[in-house]
Protein backbone atom coordinates (compact mmCIF):
# COMPACT_ATOMS: atom_id res chain seq x y z
CA UNK A 1 0.00 0.00 0.00
CA UNK A 2 2.84 2.39 0.84
CA UNK A 3 4.52 1.53 -2.47
CA UNK A 4 1.30 2.32 -4.38
CA UNK A 5 0.88 5.65 -2.56
CA UNK A 6 4.50 6.49 -3.37
CA UNK A 7 3.91 5.64 -7.05
CA UNK A 8 0.83 7.84 -7.20
CA UNK A 9 2.72 10.71 -5.54
CA UNK A 10 5.65 10.40 -7.95
CA UNK A 11 3.29 10.19 -10.93
CA UNK A 12 1.46 13.31 -9.75
CA UNK A 13 4.76 15.21 -9.39
CA UNK A 14 5.84 14.08 -12.87
CA UNK A 15 2.53 15.23 -14.32
CA UNK A 16 2.73 18.60 -12.58
CA UNK A 17 6.32 19.20 -13.71
CA UNK A 18 5.79 18.02 -17.26
CA UNK A 19 8.29 15.14 -16.93
CA UNK A 20 6.24 12.77 -19.04
CA UNK A 21 5.03 12.61 -22.62
CA UNK A 22 1.65 14.10 -23.49
CA UNK A 23 -1.21 11.92 -22.23
CA UNK A 24 -2.93 9.56 -24.64
CA UNK A 25 -6.69 9.81 -25.02
CA UNK A 26 -8.64 6.55 -24.92
CA UNK A 27 -11.52 6.31 -27.36
CA UNK A 28 -14.82 4.52 -26.69
CA UNK A 29 -14.96 1.13 -28.44
CA UNK A 30 -17.93 -0.66 -26.92
CA UNK A 31 -20.47 0.02 -24.19
CA UNK A 32 -22.75 -2.49 -22.50
CA UNK A 33 -25.59 -0.57 -20.87
CA UNK A 34 -27.50 -2.27 -18.06
CA UNK A 35 -30.82 -1.20 -16.57
CA UNK A 36 -28.61 0.60 -14.06
CA UNK A 37 -24.95 1.13 -14.88
CA UNK A 38 -22.70 0.42 -17.86
CA UNK A 39 -19.49 -1.38 -18.73
CA UNK A 40 -17.20 0.74 -20.92
CA UNK A 41 -14.38 -0.46 -23.16
CA UNK A 42 -11.91 2.19 -24.31
CA UNK A 43 -8.94 1.69 -26.60
CA UNK A 44 -5.77 3.67 -27.25
CA UNK A 45 -2.48 3.22 -29.15
CA UNK A 46 0.69 3.99 -27.18
CA UNK A 47 4.31 4.25 -28.48
CA UNK A 48 6.78 2.72 -26.00
CA UNK A 49 10.51 2.64 -25.59
CA UNK A 50 12.28 -0.57 -24.67
CA UNK A 51 12.34 -1.01 -20.91
CA UNK A 52 10.36 0.95 -18.36
CA UNK A 53 7.80 3.53 -19.42
CA UNK A 54 5.40 5.81 -17.56
CA UNK A 55 2.18 6.24 -19.49
CA UNK A 56 -0.77 8.51 -18.76
CA UNK A 57 -4.12 7.67 -20.36
CA UNK A 58 -6.91 10.23 -20.19
CA UNK A 59 -10.48 10.45 -21.45
CA UNK A 60 -11.95 7.98 -18.96
CA UNK A 61 -15.08 8.53 -16.93
CA UNK A 62 -14.35 9.99 -13.51
CA UNK A 63 -17.23 7.96 -12.04
CA UNK A 64 -15.91 4.43 -12.19
CA UNK A 65 -15.82 1.46 -9.88
CA UNK A 66 -12.06 1.27 -9.48
CA UNK A 67 -12.22 -2.39 -8.47
CA UNK A 68 -13.70 -3.17 -11.88
CA UNK A 69 -10.87 -1.57 -13.88
CA UNK A 70 -9.07 -4.02 -16.16
CA UNK A 71 -6.14 -3.13 -18.45
CA UNK A 72 -5.04 -5.35 -21.33
CA UNK A 73 -1.84 -4.49 -23.27
CA UNK A 74 -0.53 -6.03 -26.48
CA UNK A 75 3.08 -6.73 -27.50
CA UNK A 76 4.08 -8.68 -24.40
CA UNK A 77 4.09 -5.52 -22.30
CA UNK A 78 3.89 -6.04 -18.55
CA UNK A 79 1.95 -3.68 -16.28
CA UNK A 80 4.09 -3.22 -13.19
CA UNK A 81 1.66 -0.96 -11.40
CA UNK A 82 -1.06 1.56 -12.13
CA UNK A 83 -3.20 4.16 -10.40
CA UNK A 84 -6.52 5.80 -11.23
CA UNK A 85 -7.08 9.46 -10.41
CA UNK A 86 -9.23 12.43 -11.41
CA UNK A 87 -8.08 15.37 -13.49
CA UNK A 88 -9.79 18.47 -12.09
CA UNK A 89 -8.21 20.74 -14.69
CA UNK A 90 -10.74 19.46 -17.22
CA UNK A 91 -13.26 21.82 -15.61
CA UNK A 92 -11.12 24.73 -16.80
CA UNK A 93 -11.52 23.56 -20.40
CA UNK A 94 -15.28 23.57 -20.03
CA UNK A 95 -15.27 26.97 -18.34
CA UNK A 96 -13.07 28.37 -21.12
CA UNK A 97 -15.47 27.02 -23.72
CA UNK A 98 -18.46 28.48 -21.90
CA UNK A 99 -16.69 31.82 -21.47
CA UNK A 100 -16.01 31.98 -25.23
CA UNK A 101 -19.68 31.26 -25.89
CA UNK A 102 -20.74 33.96 -23.44
CA UNK A 103 -18.42 36.46 -25.17
CA UNK A 104 -19.98 35.57 -28.52
CA UNK A 105 -23.43 35.96 -26.99
CA UNK A 106 -22.58 39.43 -25.66
CA UNK A 107 -21.31 40.52 -29.09
CA UNK A 108 -24.44 39.16 -30.79
CA UNK A 109 -26.72 40.89 -28.26
CA UNK A 110 -24.88 44.20 -28.78
CA UNK A 111 -25.19 43.82 -32.56
CA UNK A 112 -28.90 43.07 -32.19
CA UNK A 113 -29.44 46.20 -30.11
CA UNK A 114 -27.59 48.21 -32.76
CA UNK A 115 -29.75 46.70 -35.52
CA UNK A 116 -32.92 47.56 -33.60
CA UNK A 117 -31.71 51.17 -33.19
CA UNK A 118 -30.97 51.42 -36.91
CA UNK A 119 -34.44 50.03 -37.74
CA UNK A 120 -36.05 52.67 -35.52
CA UNK A 121 -33.91 55.40 -37.11
CA UNK A 122 -34.73 54.31 -40.68
CA UNK A 123 -38.44 54.20 -39.81
CA UNK A 124 -38.24 57.74 -38.44
CA UNK A 125 -36.37 58.92 -41.56
CA UNK A 126 -39.11 57.43 -43.75
CA UNK A 127 -41.73 59.36 -41.82
CA UNK A 128 -39.75 62.63 -42.10
CA UNK A 129 -39.20 62.10 -45.83
CA UNK A 130 -42.90 61.57 -46.39
CA UNK A 131 -43.82 64.58 -44.23
CA UNK A 132 -41.32 66.87 -46.01
CA UNK A 133 -42.55 66.00 -49.48
CA UNK A 134 -46.19 66.34 -48.39
CA UNK A 135 -45.45 69.76 -46.87
CA UNK A 136 -43.80 71.00 -50.08
CA UNK A 137 -46.46 69.72 -52.44
CA UNK A 138 -49.35 71.05 -50.36
CA UNK A 139 -47.96 74.57 -49.94
CA UNK A 140 -50.44 77.32 -50.86
CA UNK A 141 -48.01 79.24 -53.13
CA UNK A 142 -44.99 78.57 -55.35
CA UNK A 143 -45.87 74.99 -56.35
CA UNK A 144 -44.97 74.44 -60.01
CA UNK A 145 -44.90 71.39 -62.23
CA UNK A 146 -41.11 71.43 -62.20
CA UNK A 147 -41.09 71.56 -58.39
CA UNK A 148 -43.50 68.64 -58.19
CA UNK A 149 -41.32 66.54 -60.55
CA UNK A 150 -38.21 67.41 -58.55
CA UNK A 151 -39.82 66.45 -55.23
CA UNK A 152 -41.23 63.20 -56.60
CA UNK A 153 -37.82 62.23 -57.99
CA UNK A 154 -36.22 63.07 -54.64
CA UNK A 155 -38.84 61.03 -52.77
CA UNK A 156 -38.47 58.05 -55.11
CA UNK A 157 -34.69 57.90 -54.85
CA UNK A 158 -34.48 58.32 -51.10
CA UNK A 159 -37.53 56.18 -50.34
CA UNK A 160 -36.10 53.24 -52.29
CA UNK A 161 -32.74 53.60 -50.56
CA UNK A 162 -34.34 53.69 -47.11
CA UNK A 163 -36.50 50.63 -47.95
CA UNK A 164 -33.36 48.68 -48.99
CA UNK A 165 -31.64 49.66 -45.75
CA UNK A 166 -34.73 48.61 -43.75
CA UNK A 167 -34.92 45.19 -45.45
CA UNK A 168 -31.20 44.55 -44.97
CA UNK A 169 -31.29 45.59 -41.30
CA UNK A 170 -34.36 43.47 -40.58
CA UNK A 171 -32.67 40.47 -42.17
CA UNK A 172 -29.60 41.16 -40.01
CA UNK A 173 -31.85 41.32 -36.94
CA UNK A 174 -33.49 37.98 -37.75
CA UNK A 175 -30.11 36.30 -38.21
CA UNK A 176 -28.82 37.73 -34.92
CA UNK A 177 -31.91 36.55 -33.05
CA UNK A 178 -31.38 33.01 -34.35
CA UNK A 179 -27.72 33.09 -33.35
CA UNK A 180 -28.53 34.39 -29.88
CA UNK A 181 -31.02 31.56 -29.33
CA UNK A 182 -28.45 29.00 -30.49
CA UNK A 183 -25.73 30.45 -28.22
CA UNK A 184 -28.09 30.59 -25.23
CA UNK A 185 -29.10 26.96 -25.79
CA UNK A 186 -25.46 25.84 -26.05
CA UNK A 187 -24.51 27.71 -22.88
CA UNK A 188 -27.46 26.09 -21.14
CA UNK A 189 -26.30 22.70 -22.39
CA UNK A 190 -22.80 23.28 -21.03
CA UNK A 191 -24.12 24.40 -17.68
CA UNK A 192 -26.89 21.83 -17.41
CA UNK A 193 -24.61 19.11 -16.06
CA UNK A 194 -21.29 20.46 -14.89
CA UNK A 195 -18.32 18.16 -15.39
CA UNK A 196 -15.62 19.22 -12.97
CA UNK A 197 -13.20 16.33 -13.39
CA UNK A 198 -12.06 13.61 -15.77
CA UNK A 199 -10.67 10.14 -15.17
CA UNK A 200 -7.03 9.32 -15.92
CA UNK A 201 -4.90 6.22 -15.45
CA UNK A 202 -1.16 6.37 -14.86
CA UNK A 203 0.73 3.18 -15.79
CA UNK A 204 4.22 1.96 -15.07
CA UNK A 205 4.90 -0.64 -17.78
CA UNK A 206 7.86 -2.61 -19.12
CA UNK A 207 8.19 -3.21 -22.85
CA UNK A 208 10.54 -5.87 -24.33
CA UNK A 209 11.30 -3.56 -27.28
CA UNK A 210 10.52 -0.25 -28.87
CA UNK A 211 7.03 -0.57 -30.28
CA UNK A 212 3.53 0.89 -30.54
CA UNK A 213 1.03 -1.16 -28.59
CA UNK A 214 -2.72 -1.26 -28.16
CA UNK A 215 -4.25 -0.80 -24.69
CA UNK A 216 -7.82 -1.84 -23.87
CA UNK A 217 -9.34 -0.49 -20.66
CA UNK A 218 -12.56 -1.99 -19.32
CA UNK A 219 -14.48 -0.72 -16.29
CA UNK A 220 -17.94 -0.35 -14.76
CA UNK A 221 -19.68 2.94 -14.01
CA UNK A 222 -23.08 3.37 -12.33
CA UNK A 223 -23.82 6.61 -14.23
CA UNK A 224 -25.89 5.15 -17.09
CA UNK A 225 -29.20 3.37 -17.61
CA UNK A 226 -31.83 2.35 -20.14
CA UNK A 227 -35.45 1.24 -20.18
CA UNK A 228 -37.88 -0.02 -22.79
CA UNK A 229 -41.12 1.42 -24.16
CA UNK A 230 -43.32 0.12 -26.95
CA UNK A 231 -45.47 1.28 -29.82
CA UNK A 232 -48.32 -1.10 -30.59
CA UNK A 233 -50.19 -0.62 -33.85
CA UNK A 234 -53.34 -2.70 -34.27
CA UNK A 235 -54.68 -2.57 -37.81
CA UNK A 236 -57.82 -4.64 -37.24
CA UNK A 237 -59.01 -7.53 -35.08
CA UNK A 238 -57.92 -10.16 -37.61
CA UNK A 239 -54.35 -8.91 -38.04
CA UNK A 240 -51.31 -9.40 -35.80
CA UNK A 241 -50.08 -6.53 -33.63
CA UNK A 242 -47.16 -4.54 -35.04
CA UNK A 243 -44.82 -4.05 -32.08
CA UNK A 244 -41.92 -1.59 -32.01
CA UNK A 245 -39.65 -1.74 -28.99
CA UNK A 246 -37.73 1.45 -28.19
CA UNK A 247 -34.79 1.80 -25.86
CA UNK A 248 -34.35 5.03 -23.88
CA UNK A 249 -30.64 5.38 -23.15
CA UNK A 250 -29.15 8.06 -20.90
CA UNK A 251 -25.72 8.51 -19.40
CA UNK A 252 -23.87 11.09 -17.36
CA UNK A 253 -20.47 9.43 -17.13
CA UNK A 254 -18.67 12.73 -17.74
CA UNK A 255 -17.56 11.73 -21.25
CA UNK A 256 -19.37 11.48 -24.57
CA UNK A 257 -19.74 8.07 -26.17
CA UNK A 258 -18.68 8.90 -29.72
CA UNK A 259 -19.37 6.32 -32.45
CA UNK A 260 -19.63 3.55 -29.86
CA UNK A 261 -21.07 0.11 -30.47
CA UNK A 262 -23.81 -0.50 -27.92
CA UNK A 263 -25.15 -3.60 -26.24
CA UNK A 264 -28.26 -3.13 -24.09
CA UNK A 265 -28.72 -5.70 -21.34
CA UNK A 266 -31.86 -6.34 -19.30
CA UNK A 267 -29.64 -7.38 -16.40
CA UNK A 268 -28.36 -5.24 -13.58
CA UNK A 269 -25.01 -6.00 -11.91
CA UNK A 270 -25.48 -7.19 -8.35
CA UNK A 271 -24.29 -4.88 -5.62
CA UNK A 272 -22.87 -7.65 -3.48
CA UNK A 273 -22.76 -10.74 -5.72
CA UNK A 274 -23.71 -12.68 -2.59
CA UNK A 275 -26.91 -14.69 -2.27
CA UNK A 276 -28.69 -13.83 1.01
CA UNK A 277 -28.51 -16.19 3.97
CA UNK A 278 -30.93 -16.52 6.89
CA UNK A 279 -29.87 -16.52 10.51
CA UNK A 280 -31.71 -17.16 13.75
CA UNK A 281 -34.39 -14.52 14.40
CA UNK A 282 -34.14 -13.81 18.12
CA UNK A 283 -37.03 -11.95 19.71
CA UNK A 284 -36.21 -9.72 22.64
CA UNK A 285 -37.65 -6.73 24.40
CA UNK A 286 -36.76 -3.40 22.87
CA UNK A 287 -36.53 -0.23 24.91
CA UNK A 288 -37.36 2.84 22.82
CA UNK A 289 -35.77 6.04 24.03
CA UNK A 290 -37.02 9.23 22.41
CA UNK A 291 -36.42 12.85 23.09
CA UNK A 292 -37.11 16.20 21.57
CA UNK A 293 -39.27 16.35 18.47
CA UNK A 294 -39.28 12.57 18.02
CA UNK A 295 -40.56 12.08 21.56
CA UNK A 296 -43.38 14.57 20.97
CA UNK A 297 -44.38 12.75 17.82
CA UNK A 298 -44.29 9.41 19.62
CA UNK A 299 -46.86 10.71 22.15
CA UNK A 300 -49.30 11.30 19.32
CA UNK A 301 -48.57 8.05 17.51
CA UNK A 302 -46.56 9.72 14.74
CA UNK A 303 -43.43 7.95 13.58
CA UNK A 304 -40.41 10.20 13.21
CA UNK A 305 -38.63 9.57 9.92
CA UNK A 306 -35.94 11.07 7.76
CA UNK A 307 -37.07 12.09 4.28
CA UNK A 308 -34.54 12.33 1.50
CA UNK A 309 -35.59 14.67 -1.30
CA UNK A 310 -35.41 13.34 -4.83
CA UNK A 311 -32.85 14.87 -7.11
CA UNK A 312 -34.21 17.47 -9.49
CA UNK A 313 -35.04 15.79 -12.78
CA UNK A 314 -32.91 16.65 -15.78
CA UNK A 315 -34.55 18.04 -18.90
CA UNK A 316 -35.16 15.41 -21.53
CA UNK A 317 -34.34 15.63 -25.18
CA UNK A 318 -35.44 12.65 -27.23
CA UNK A 319 -33.75 11.94 -30.54
CA UNK A 320 -35.87 9.70 -32.72
CA UNK A 321 -34.19 7.08 -34.85
CA UNK A 322 -35.28 6.18 -38.34
CA UNK A 323 -37.15 2.94 -39.02
CA UNK A 324 -35.16 -0.15 -39.86
CA UNK A 325 -32.66 -0.03 -36.97
CA UNK A 326 -34.02 -3.41 -35.88
CA UNK A 327 -32.25 -4.97 -38.86
CA UNK A 328 -28.96 -4.16 -37.11
CA UNK A 329 -29.95 -5.57 -33.72
CA UNK A 330 -29.33 -9.13 -32.54
CA UNK A 331 -30.98 -10.43 -29.36
CA UNK A 332 -29.06 -12.99 -27.31
CA UNK A 333 -30.63 -14.66 -24.29
CA UNK A 334 -28.04 -15.15 -21.58
CA UNK A 335 -28.36 -17.02 -18.29
CA UNK A 336 -29.36 -13.90 -16.32
CA UNK A 337 -30.43 -11.40 -18.96
CA UNK A 338 -31.25 -10.70 -22.59
CA UNK A 339 -28.70 -8.66 -24.51
CA UNK A 340 -29.48 -6.54 -27.58
CA UNK A 341 -26.32 -5.92 -29.58
CA UNK A 342 -26.49 -3.02 -32.07
CA UNK A 343 -24.06 -3.17 -34.98
CA UNK A 344 -24.54 0.51 -35.87
CA UNK A 345 -22.29 3.05 -34.10
CA UNK A 346 -24.01 5.56 -31.83
CA UNK A 347 -22.99 8.83 -30.24
CA UNK A 348 -24.60 9.51 -26.86
CA UNK A 349 -23.69 12.68 -25.03
CA UNK A 350 -22.79 12.43 -21.37
CA UNK A 351 -25.32 15.03 -20.29
CA UNK A 352 -28.05 12.72 -18.90
CA UNK A 353 -30.43 13.42 -21.79
CA UNK A 354 -32.27 10.49 -23.28
CA UNK A 355 -31.67 9.14 -26.73
CA UNK A 356 -34.35 6.90 -28.12
CA UNK A 357 -33.37 3.92 -30.29
CA UNK A 358 -35.91 1.86 -32.24
CA UNK A 359 -34.55 -1.46 -31.06
CA UNK A 360 -36.96 -4.09 -32.31
CA UNK A 361 -39.76 -4.35 -34.87
CA UNK A 362 -41.86 -7.50 -34.96
CA UNK A 363 -45.33 -8.90 -35.54
CA UNK A 364 -47.11 -10.43 -32.52
CA UNK A 365 -49.31 -13.28 -33.77
CA UNK A 366 -50.69 -14.91 -30.61
CA UNK A 367 -53.36 -12.32 -29.77
CA UNK A 368 -57.01 -12.68 -28.71
CA UNK A 369 -59.55 -9.85 -28.78
CA UNK A 370 -62.67 -9.60 -26.61
CA UNK A 371 -64.96 -7.03 -25.05
CA UNK A 372 -65.15 -6.44 -21.32
CA UNK A 373 -67.66 -4.58 -19.17
CA UNK A 374 -68.28 -4.09 -15.45
CA UNK A 375 -71.58 -2.14 -15.58
CA UNK A 376 -71.91 -1.78 -11.82
CA UNK A 377 -68.91 0.57 -12.10
CA UNK A 378 -68.94 1.77 -15.71
CA UNK A 379 -71.58 1.23 -18.39
CA UNK A 380 -69.03 0.95 -21.20
CA UNK A 381 -67.84 -1.98 -23.25
CA UNK A 382 -64.07 -1.95 -23.59
CA UNK A 383 -62.21 -3.70 -26.38
CA UNK A 384 -59.38 -5.67 -24.79
CA UNK A 385 -56.43 -7.39 -26.48
CA UNK A 386 -54.78 -10.35 -24.76
CA UNK A 387 -51.20 -11.11 -25.79
CA UNK A 388 -50.65 -14.75 -24.90
CA UNK A 389 -47.34 -16.16 -23.66
CA UNK A 390 -45.78 -12.76 -23.23
CA UNK A 391 -42.86 -14.21 -21.28
CA UNK A 392 -41.93 -16.39 -24.26
CA UNK A 393 -41.12 -13.23 -26.24
CA UNK A 394 -38.26 -12.47 -23.78
CA UNK A 395 -39.05 -8.75 -23.82
CA UNK A 396 -38.65 -6.45 -20.81
CA UNK A 397 -41.73 -4.95 -19.21
CA UNK A 398 -42.56 -1.38 -20.14
CA UNK A 399 -45.24 1.13 -21.05
CA UNK A 400 -46.84 1.01 -24.49
CA UNK A 401 -48.47 3.58 -26.74
CA UNK A 402 -51.47 1.96 -28.42
CA UNK A 403 -52.79 2.85 -31.88
CA UNK A 404 -55.86 1.11 -33.29
CA UNK A 405 -56.76 1.58 -36.95
CA UNK A 406 -54.64 4.74 -37.08
CA UNK A 407 -56.16 6.32 -33.94
CA UNK A 408 -54.15 6.81 -30.75
CA UNK A 409 -55.91 5.16 -27.79
CA UNK A 410 -53.54 6.03 -24.98
CA UNK A 411 -50.95 4.27 -22.88
CA UNK A 412 -50.94 0.87 -21.22
CA UNK A 413 -48.50 -1.36 -19.40
CA UNK A 414 -46.83 -4.33 -21.08
CA UNK A 415 -46.24 -6.80 -18.27
CA UNK A 416 -47.41 -10.30 -17.50
CA UNK A 417 -50.38 -9.96 -15.14
CA UNK A 418 -51.72 -13.46 -14.47
CA UNK A 419 -50.67 -17.07 -14.08
CA UNK A 420 -50.79 -17.74 -17.81
CA UNK A 421 -48.32 -14.91 -18.49
CA UNK A 422 -50.84 -12.98 -20.58
CA UNK A 423 -50.67 -9.27 -21.17
CA UNK A 424 -54.00 -7.41 -21.14
CA UNK A 425 -54.27 -4.20 -23.14
CA UNK A 426 -57.36 -1.99 -22.95
CA UNK A 427 -57.85 -0.40 -26.36
CA UNK A 428 -60.83 1.81 -25.51
CA UNK A 429 -64.61 1.73 -25.22
CA UNK A 430 -66.81 0.84 -28.22
CA UNK A 431 -70.01 2.88 -28.53
CA UNK A 432 -71.53 0.24 -30.83
CA UNK A 433 -71.78 -2.17 -27.90
CA UNK A 434 -74.56 -0.78 -25.71
CA UNK A 435 -74.58 -1.49 -21.97
CA UNK A 436 -77.28 -0.33 -19.54
CA UNK A 437 -77.67 -1.50 -15.94
CA UNK A 438 -80.73 -0.55 -13.90
CA UNK A 439 -82.35 -1.50 -10.61
CA UNK A 440 -85.48 -3.46 -11.51
CA UNK A 441 -86.58 -4.62 -8.07
CA UNK A 442 -86.32 -3.35 -4.54
CA UNK A 443 -88.11 -4.49 -1.40
CA UNK A 444 -87.55 -4.01 2.29
CA UNK A 445 -89.39 -5.47 5.27
CA UNK A 446 -88.96 -6.24 8.93
CA UNK A 447 -89.25 -9.73 10.38
CA UNK A 448 -88.85 -9.90 14.13
CA UNK A 449 -85.54 -8.35 15.07
CA UNK A 450 -84.25 -8.48 11.51
CA UNK A 451 -84.51 -6.33 8.48
CA UNK A 452 -84.68 -8.00 5.04
CA UNK A 453 -83.75 -6.08 1.90
CA UNK A 454 -84.03 -7.46 -1.63
CA UNK A 455 -82.42 -5.99 -4.74
CA UNK A 456 -82.46 -7.03 -8.38
CA UNK A 457 -80.48 -5.47 -11.22
CA UNK A 458 -80.94 -6.06 -14.92
CA UNK A 459 -78.12 -5.37 -17.35
CA UNK A 460 -79.21 -4.80 -20.95
CA UNK A 461 -76.59 -5.67 -23.57
CA UNK A 462 -76.92 -5.02 -27.30
CA UNK A 463 -74.44 -5.59 -30.13
CA UNK A 464 -74.92 -2.95 -32.85
CA UNK A 465 -71.80 -4.02 -34.74
CA UNK A 466 -71.88 -5.80 -38.10
CA UNK A 467 -70.01 -8.79 -36.73
CA UNK A 468 -70.43 -11.13 -33.78
CA UNK A 469 -68.54 -10.28 -30.60
CA UNK A 470 -67.39 -12.03 -27.44
CA UNK A 471 -68.19 -10.11 -24.28
CA UNK A 472 -67.02 -10.73 -20.72
CA UNK A 473 -69.50 -9.18 -18.28
CA UNK A 474 -68.71 -8.99 -14.58
CA UNK A 475 -71.12 -8.10 -11.79
CA UNK A 476 -71.18 -8.61 -8.05
CA UNK A 477 -73.30 -9.06 -4.96
CA UNK A 478 -72.31 -8.16 -1.38
CA UNK A 479 -70.49 -10.60 0.89
CA UNK A 480 -71.11 -10.86 4.62
CA UNK A 481 -68.35 -10.01 7.05
CA UNK A 482 -70.34 -10.99 10.21
CA UNK A 483 -72.49 -13.94 11.14
CA UNK A 484 -75.42 -11.61 11.91
CA UNK A 485 -75.51 -10.56 8.24
CA UNK A 486 -76.87 -13.17 5.83
CA UNK A 487 -76.67 -12.79 2.05
CA UNK A 488 -78.38 -15.02 -0.47
CA UNK A 489 -78.52 -14.75 -4.25
CA UNK A 490 -82.24 -14.71 -5.02
CA UNK A 491 -82.47 -14.20 -8.77
CA UNK A 492 -80.31 -15.28 -11.70
CA UNK A 493 -81.87 -15.54 -15.12
CA UNK A 494 -78.55 -16.60 -16.59
CA UNK A 495 -76.10 -18.99 -14.99
CA UNK A 496 -72.74 -17.21 -14.65
CA UNK A 497 -69.68 -18.78 -16.24
CA UNK A 498 -67.78 -18.37 -12.99
CA UNK A 499 -68.80 -17.31 -9.50
CA UNK A 500 -66.45 -16.46 -6.65
CA UNK A 501 -68.43 -16.70 -3.42
CA UNK A 502 -65.56 -15.23 -1.39
CA UNK A 503 -65.64 -11.98 -3.39
CA UNK A 504 -69.21 -12.06 -4.71
CA UNK A 505 -67.99 -11.46 -8.26
CA UNK A 506 -69.81 -13.29 -11.06
CA UNK A 507 -68.58 -13.48 -14.65
CA UNK A 508 -70.61 -14.10 -17.80
CA UNK A 509 -68.93 -15.07 -21.06
CA UNK A 510 -71.37 -14.02 -23.79
CA UNK A 511 -71.35 -14.35 -27.57
CA UNK A 512 -73.61 -11.84 -29.30
CA UNK A 513 -74.55 -11.97 -32.97
CA UNK A 514 -74.93 -8.70 -34.94
CA UNK A 515 -77.98 -6.83 -33.62
CA UNK A 516 -78.55 -9.34 -30.77
CA UNK A 517 -79.68 -8.16 -27.33
CA UNK A 518 -79.42 -9.96 -23.99
CA UNK A 519 -80.67 -9.20 -20.48
CA UNK A 520 -78.67 -10.40 -17.49
CA UNK A 521 -80.51 -10.34 -14.15
CA UNK A 522 -78.77 -10.57 -10.81
CA UNK A 523 -80.70 -10.32 -7.53
CA UNK A 524 -79.78 -10.81 -3.90
CA UNK A 525 -81.37 -10.62 -0.44
CA UNK A 526 -79.66 -9.30 2.68
CA UNK A 527 -80.90 -10.09 6.20
CA UNK A 528 -79.39 -8.26 9.17
CA UNK A 529 -80.37 -6.92 12.64
CA UNK A 530 -82.87 -4.09 12.22
CA UNK A 531 -80.97 -1.75 14.55
CA UNK A 532 -77.81 -2.09 12.47
CA UNK A 533 -76.71 0.28 9.74
CA UNK A 534 -74.77 -1.40 6.96
CA UNK A 535 -73.26 -0.15 3.71
CA UNK A 536 -75.88 -1.37 1.25
Question: How does pLDDT run across 316-344, given as a tens digit for each residue?
Answer: 333 333 345 667 888 888 777 889 999 88
Residues 212, 47 contacting (CB under 8 angstroms): yes
- Provide the pLDDT confidence category of residue 281 given band limits of 50, 70 and 90: low
pLDDT higher at 183 or 458? 458
DSSP 481: S
Residues 417, 397 contacting (CB under 8 angstroms): no
CA angle 145, 146, 152 (to 5 degrees): 90
Using the predicted structure, report yes or no on whether residue 92 has a pLDDT greater than 60: no
Using the predicted structure, report yes or no on whether residue 359 has a pLDDT greater than 60: yes
Rounded to an integer, the average pLDDT of 413-421 is 63
Across 160-312, the runs of DSSP E, i.e. the strands, are 198-207, 211-221, 224-234, 241-251, 257-265
pLDDT score recorded for residue 353? 82
Tens digits of per-residue pLDDT, 419-462?
Answer: 556 788 888 888 999 999 999 989 999 999 999 999 999 999 99
Tens digits of per-residue pLDDT, 128-141?
Answer: 888 877 777 666 56
Tens digits of per-residue pLDDT, 513-528?
Answer: 999 999 999 999 999 9
Using the predicted structure, report yes or no on whether residue 288 has a pLDDT greater than 80: no
DSSP 394: T
pLDDT score recorded for residue 197? 63
DSSP 76: T
pLDDT score recorded for residue 327? 76
Nearest residue to 534 via CA among 437, 452, 448, 476: 452
Please state, as a whole number, how many other Cβ atoms lie within 10 Å of the Cβ of residue 30: 17
Tens digits of per-residue pLDDT, 478-509?
Answer: 998 888 899 999 777 888 999 998 899 999 99
pLDDT score recorded for residue 74? 93
Proportion of the chain above pLDDT 90, given as a percent: 34
Q: Is 59 left (phi over 0), alpha (psi -120 to 50) or beta?
A: left
- Provide the pLDDT confidence category of residue 248 given band limits of 50, 70 and 90: very high
Amino acid sequence: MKQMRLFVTIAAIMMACGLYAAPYTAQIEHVTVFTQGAELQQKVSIPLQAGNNTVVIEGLSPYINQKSLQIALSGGVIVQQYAFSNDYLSADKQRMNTAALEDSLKLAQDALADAERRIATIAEMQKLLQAGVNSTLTASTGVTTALIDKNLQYFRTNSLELAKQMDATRGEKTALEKRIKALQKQIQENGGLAVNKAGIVTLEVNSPKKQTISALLTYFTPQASWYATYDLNIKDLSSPIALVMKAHVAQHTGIDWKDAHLTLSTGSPSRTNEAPELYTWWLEQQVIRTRGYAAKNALYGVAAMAVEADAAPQAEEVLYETAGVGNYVSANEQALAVEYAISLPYTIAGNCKEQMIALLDKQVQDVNYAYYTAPCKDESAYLVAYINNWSALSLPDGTANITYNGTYYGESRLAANDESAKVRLTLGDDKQVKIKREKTAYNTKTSGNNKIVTYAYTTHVRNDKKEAITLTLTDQYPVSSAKEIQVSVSDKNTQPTTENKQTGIVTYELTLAPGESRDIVLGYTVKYPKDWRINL
